[in-house]
Amino acid sequence: MEIEDKIMSAKEAIKKFVSDGNLVCFGGFTHAIPFALGHEIIRQRKRNLTVSKETPDLIVDQLIAAGCVEKVIFSWAGNPGVGLLHAFRRAVEKGIPHPIEIEEYTHFTLGARYFAGAAGIPFVPIIPSVLGSDLPKYNKNLKTIKCPFTGKLLCAIPALNPDVAIIHAQRADKEGNVQMWGIIGSNKEIAMASKKVIVSVEEIVDSEVIRRDPNRTIIPAFKVDAIIEEPWGAHPSYTQGYYDRDNEFYLEYDKLTRTVEGMEKFLNEWVYGVENRKEYLKKLGVERILKLLPKTYSSIPVDYGYYG
């Protein structure tokens, strides 16, 4: 792919790479959750999606409320530090706006599925402690296998290979080399396991910046299909070094979305009511944005001895 073809808007990337019925995996584990890209999926009214995410939080809740989701593959679900995901619960318990299927794992077992998918193997064996829980009663993907070397019982987890990975990170170059720091979660494995990879970043930088700190590159250019420069693309979650978590937003969301009407109001105001992330930020307001800006805390330079 030509370099210039990778750089596009969120609208272009979602239209080009996300189709109805896809298995879409969202990266981000409390940190750098790709809200801007998720909102664009909602605005384009994608349907019948299977959504996979470790710790599905507000973005998955919103996708469910907007009618985009048919099934959720997840590990623990909630509004972190606050409480329940109300749209998620309504869909499971009452079929509002329509019934959804759920497939639950622990954080480790879902991460193991991504790892197997990234490694190109059909399954991965893990220690059998999860077999002592109730999960195997409800999730038939948790199988048992005997170790050919020790004879001990293990749990076998099948690989997961999403159609599309949706990821947010700090920066990338125009070629699509993506760098991230802070809580990385399973972003690397998700990207390597997926057929298509869409990444939004706080900024697109020169390749020289990437070469100066190669250990931060978690996704290589050859795996990335679309790069979107999307400042504040993870709000209300945080992006290490760029802005803090908007805890007030999470609390406000919990109160507002306890009813169907409240959820509709939220979507109309914060998703359908804004055309893109720039309009979202205008609505958020300068005062709130300034409040979330972090203090500078730089790492010590390291000489990697690069010779160009």
- The residues facing 49 across adjacent strands are 69
Whether 221 maps to a domain, the answer reads yes
- Domain ranges, residue 231: 3-105+161-292
Give the N- to C-terminal CA distance of the chain in Å, as an integer: 24
Whether 7 maps to a domain, the answer reads yes
Written as one letter, the residue type at 300 is I
Whether 134 maps to a domain, the answer reads no
Cβ(102)–Cβ(135) below 8 Å:
no
Whether 260 maps to a domain, the answer reads yes
Q: Residues near 146 by Cβ (< 8 Å), separated by ≥ 6?
A: 152, 153, 154
Whether 126 maps to a domain, the answer reads no
Cis peptide preceding 136, ω within 30 of 0: no
Whether 143 maps to a domain, the answer reads no
pLDDT < 70 stretches in the chain: 1-4, 306-308
Token pair for 218: 């978690």
- The number of distinct structural domains making up the chain is 1
C-alpha 119: how far from its chain's center? 20
pLDDT value at residue 304: 81
The torsion region of residue 96 among left (phi > 0), alpha (psi -120 to 50) and beta comes to: beta
> What element of type H or E holds 248?
helix 247-256
Cβ(155)–Cβ(189) below 8 Å:
no
Name the strands in the sheet holding 123-126, side by side, starting at the edge strand that comes first in the sequence: 123-126, 153-158, 143-146
pLDDT value at residue 307: 61
pLDDT value at residue 95: 98
* Rounded Cα gap, residues 41 and 69, in angstroms: 11
Whether 273 maps to a domain, the answer reads yes
> What element of type H or E holds 34?
none
pLDDT value at residue 45: 98
* Rounded Cα gap, residues 26 and 200, in angstroms: 12
Whether 220 maps to a domain, the answer reads yes
- The SS3 call for residue 131 is helix
* Rounded Cα gap, residues 191 and 26, in angstroms: 10
Written as one letter, the residue type at 170 is Q
Nearest to 160 by CA among 121, 127, 129: 121
Token pair for 120: 């190109």
- Torsions phi, psi of 198, nearest 5? -110, 125
Cβ(209)–Cβ(171) below 8 Å:
yes
- The residues facing 217 across adjacent strands are 179
CATH number of the domain bearing residue 72: 3.40.1080.10
Cβ(210)–Cβ(173) below 8 Å:
yes
